[in-house]
Amino acid sequence: MTTESERSPFAKRLIKVRQEKGMSGPELAKKIGCKYGSYHHYEIKANPPFEILIKIIEALDVSVEYFFKPFISLADPEYTDFCEKIKIIKRNQTEWDTIKTVIERFYEKIIDTKHKEDPPEEGDADRLTMNE
C-alpha cells in the first residue's frame, strides 16, 4: 500500500479532485477509457500520457492548469505563453486543437524536470491567477 508521502504531487491532486467530484478510481478509469490497473498507477507515482491527462481533465471538469499549478514558476517564459493560450481556450473552444501542442510541451517539460527540484509551495501556486 502506498503512503501519502510516497505519492507524486500529480497523484495527490488527482486523488483530491476525484474524491471531491464523488468518483471512485474504477469509475474514473472507465470514464476516461482505460483499465483500472493503468489508472491506479497515476494515483501513485506515474504521470499519465498527455492524451490521458486531457481525458482526466475533461472527465473531472477541472481546468487544465489545476494539475500544473504545483510546478509553475512565474519566472518561466513558457508560463506566460501557457496562461495566454489557456485564456484563448476559455474564450473560444475552437482554439483547443491549435493550443494542445503548447500544453503538451509544457506538460512534457514538467515531467522532465519534476525530479530536479521541488515544486513551489502550495500557497505560492494558489496565488497564480489563470482567469481573466
| Residue range(s) defining the domain that contains residue 45 | 1-62
- pLDDT, tens digit, 9 for 90 and up, residues 44-81: 888 888 888 888 988 998 877 787 776 667 677 877 77
Question: Do residues 51 and 37 both lie within one domain?
Answer: yes
| Residue 28: exposure state from Cβ atoms within 10 A (0-12, 13-18, ≥19) | buried
Could you tell me which of 30, 32, 28, 31 has the C-alpha nearest to residue 16? 28
Question: Do residues 77 and 35 both lie within one domain?
Answer: no
Provide the grid cell at 124: 505560492
* Domain end point (choices 62, 91, 115): 62
In which element (H, E) is residue 107 found?
A: helix 96-113
Question: Do residues 34 and 75 both lie within one domain?
Answer: no
The whole model's pTM is what? 0.62
Given a cut of 70, the residues of the chain with pLDDT beneath it are: 1, 70-72, 74, 86, 88-98, 113-132
Nearest 5°: the CA angle 70, 78, 114 is: 40
